[in-house]
Structure 1
Amino acid sequence: MNTDNKIRGNGDIWFDLFAGQFRQREGQCASVKVADGVLDGQAARIIAVVPDPENHYPRAVKGEVGLLEGWTLGQMVNEAIQEDRDKPVKRAIVAIIDVPSQAYGRREEAFGIHLALAAAAGAYANARLAGHPVIGLIVGKAMSGAFLAHGYQANRLIALNDRDVMIHAMGKASAARITLRTVEALEKLASTIPPMAYDIANYKTLGLLEELIDVADPKHPTQAEVQTVKAAVTKAIETARREGVMLNNRLGSPNRASTSLVRERMKAEWNAA
């Protein structure tokens, strides 16, 4: 294990755990790590967004997904699609996810961060539709537009069961401001409304997670814990190959009953027309 894990992001740590022996791709921006290799018999490309203190854009130094990251993610995923175009079995794409936010800044907005993040999300969707099993492994924060760009389009999502692992549209302080509440009041409300909650256990009740895995300390996992996570990712790859490219597996949770009802009524109206 690395001795500097306390100052490294979870995404960086788990990228190395998965791709330490893989062939590292070079030449892209330093905040996007990419490696190709074989994961338990499955060809795979591992991708992570990591902190870069020397990032050209100051708003993206802590692992945020900004202009460079969005365009680079799109390029790295599209590259895999092109390279595997004529192969009967497409390599898996594993997104290691620990992204605190998209990069907020005037330059980012002026230079079209919405286009950069859309390029990344579109590439992941295209990879899935082209037959690449796309697996998202959430090892830290999966927040806001950063998660939409890096991982949300996955066939299957797996998360570590840890208090610092969270998925949400925005941070607590921002959500409190926009709802005119204190953070304490927001947390109280979220305890009764699962989609508003920040803890990963509540998120799982929405039906979007394939698996939630206990790891005592995500920054210092045991070898047994690492093997458990790798086995879960391998299983998810096999399931994605078997069940196809759509995301129907995300439907059916009791906490998404209204979503299912709306979908059924829209389908009925569409067929009637």
Structure 2
Amino acid sequence: MMTRSNSRGAIWLEKLAPNASRINSLCPSVQVADADLNGETVRFISVVPDANNHYPRATQGEVGLLEGWTLAKVVNETIDSDANSNVKRPIVAVIDVPSQAYGRREEAFGIYQALAGAVGAYAKARLAGHPVIGLIVGKAMSGAFLAHGYQANRLIAINDKGVLVHAMGKESAARITLRTVDALEKMAATIPPMAYDISNYATLGLLSDLLTINNPDAPSDADLALVEITVQKAISDARKDPSLKNRLGAENRRSSALVRERMRVAW
């Protein structure tokens, strides 16, 4: 049975694919809809909360075993369906994921394999010619972001305090670094890769666009129009240049670009 929620992922999926039927036979936490955008069919994929999830650690929109394998299934089926098409269908990952699912069962049953399956499917789609766009509307945290969205040709984010990107939550990072959360936040203010806010993340050069809209939780027609136009542009750009070179242009990626340059010379 299809479920609805008030998560940003669910809200934006509904806005981008209004009244579109969801693909059946999937776990309720992975919502997939095909909708028209600029005259072509686009596949929108979002991970949403499911209070009745079989795995209790994956009830709040986390990416767990079911979600990882289902994302892999959906994306691979998209690739297979378009195998003989000259123009590959765009895939838009609508991203609002608080974490991967932490639990003993998840570890025992191989969550690393499930998430790797999702990563591999998105990468395969990108390399097969599908424009893969990641639209960050909420949290993009830890392994969940790696599994759902980070493999995109282009990443777009909403400029809002509710949009966070990081390898782990603040409380966990504070414990690992033997700091308080307040001390961690002060350190992050001077070290962009340690920060959580999207404006600092943007300085790393990983975003193709950072959008300021009126209300991410209740998008207006103008908000939706801006996002749709930006996604259309990202799709066009990805078809012209499907590489990830666009991620290396920022000042805070200068060392990354230098390492790659020296490796090319050495090899």
The question of a shared fold, defined as TM-score above 0.5 by the shorter chain, is answered with yes
Correspondence for 1:207? 205
Q: TM-score, normalised by structure 2?
A: 0.97
Aligned to 1:12: 10
Q: Is structure 2 residue 241 aligned with structure 1 residue 247?
A: no
Residue in structure 2 matched with residue 258 of structure 1 by the alignment: 255
Q: Deviations over 1:55-106 (max 9, x none)?
A: 0000000000000000000000000000000000000000000000000000
Aligned 8 A contact 1:168 1:198 in 2: yes
Do structure 1's residue 129 and structure 2's residue 120 form an aligned pair? no
Within the candidate set 180, 183, 191, 1:182 is matched to 180
Instruction: Name the counterpart of 2:162.
Output: 164
* 2:11 maps to amino acid: I
Q: After the TM superposition, list the runs of 4 or more consecutive aligned residues in structure 1 that deviate by more than 4 angstroms.
A: none
1:79 matches 2:77: yes
1:241 offset after TM fit, Å? Answer: 0.8
Task: Provide, for residues 111-134 of structure 1, a one-character-per-residue CA deviation record: whole Å limited to 9, x for no partner.
Answer: 000000000000000000000000
Q: Deviations over 1:158-178 (max 9, x none)?
A: 001100101100111111110
Q: Distance in 2 between matches of 1:22 and 1:269?
A: 51
1:141 offset after TM fit, Å? 0.1
Shift of 1:242: 1.2
Letter in 2 for 1:79: E
Query: How many pairs are equivalent?
Result: 264
What SS does the aligned partner of 1:137 have?
strand
Deviations 1:7-35 (A, max 9, x none): 71100100100112334211100000001
Task: Find the residue that maps to 1:24 and give its secondary structure.
Answer: coil
In 1, Cα distance between the equivalents of 2:86 and 2:155? 24
Which residue number corresponds to residue 190 of structure 2? 192
Counterpart CA distance in 2 for 1:109 and 1:213 is 36
The one of 19, 26, 29 aligned to 2:27: 29
| Alignment TM-score, normalising by the size of structure 1 | 0.95
Fraction of identical pairs, as percent: 64
2:62 to 64, 79, 100: 64
What's 1:44 paired with? Answer: 42
Which residue does 2:98 correspond to in 1? 100
**Unmatched segments (≥5 aa) in structure 2:** none
8 A Cα contact 1:50 1:62, kept in partner: yes
- 1:261, 1:193 → 2: CA distance? 20
Distance across 2 between alignment mates of 1:40 and 1:21: 17
Displacement of 1:198: 0.7
The answer to whether the 8 Å contact 1:93/1:135 transfers is: yes
Mind listing any 5+ residue stretches in structure 1 that lack a counterpart? none
The one-letter code sitting in structure 2 at the alignment partner of 1:266 is: M
Q: Residues 23 and 37 of structure 1 are in contact (CA less than 8 Å); yes or no, is this contact kept in structure 2?
A: no
SS at match of 1:38: strand
